[in-house]
Amino acid sequence: MVDDDRWAVLERRVAALEAAQVQERAASATGPETAGEASPLWALEGLRARVPDPGAVMLTGAVTLPDGRAAQWQEGADTGSLLAEDWGEVADALAALGSPVRLRLLQRVLTGTGTVAELVQGEGVGTSGQVYHHVRQLVAAGWLRSAGGGRYEVPVPRVVPLLAAVVGARR
């Protein structure tokens, strides 16, 4: 009986912790409050408060995919080091995103389509040979990986950067 009571107490405590985390995530998703209203630039204001001139760039996101995988990611770079880097080193990864077909394939994989046979059924992606060609390029660039059983997935560490690239390109 004592063990049952301990389990019940533990279950209540875990439930309370989980509820507190949900509330904390919801509060942080709207950003800090300014005079009773959320600032629309709360992320930028937080970055500027932490980084001296000439500034920095940061990408961050928290995503739950249709397949249930959670992707939480944050990366930043200060302006000086970013401008000093050899941007040619990222050319292959960016070039892989430079095809409308490859972008459609990535979007379909993120929304639950995982095999080449399923991908070929989509509009505007071409034949199975063409899809395999694009999939190989996306795998080589790190945007896709084999998930076994003939399925492909976007690796979790690439989900937010991919979505951030799409958001940035919409501007």
What is the pTM assigned to this prediction? 0.74
The dotted CATH code for 87-169 is: 1.10.10.10
Q: What are phi and psi of 29, to 5 degrees?
A: -70, -30
DSSP annotation of 90 reads: G
pLDDT at 7: 73
Distance, CA of 92 to CA of 100 (rounded, Å):
16
List the pLDDT tens digit at each of the 171 positions of the chain.
556 677 766 667 766 666 666 555 555 555 555 455 678 888 889 899 999 899 999 999 999 999 899 999 899 999 999 999 999 999 999 999 999 999 999 999 999 988 999 999 988 899 999 999 999 999 999 999 999 999 999 999 999 999 999 999 997
Instruction: Give yes or no for a contact between 72 and 118, defined as CB atoms under 8 angstroms apart.
Output: no
User: Alpha helices, DSSP H only, in 91-155?
Assistant: 91-96, 100-110, 116-120, 128-140
To which residue do tokens 């739950």 refer?
64
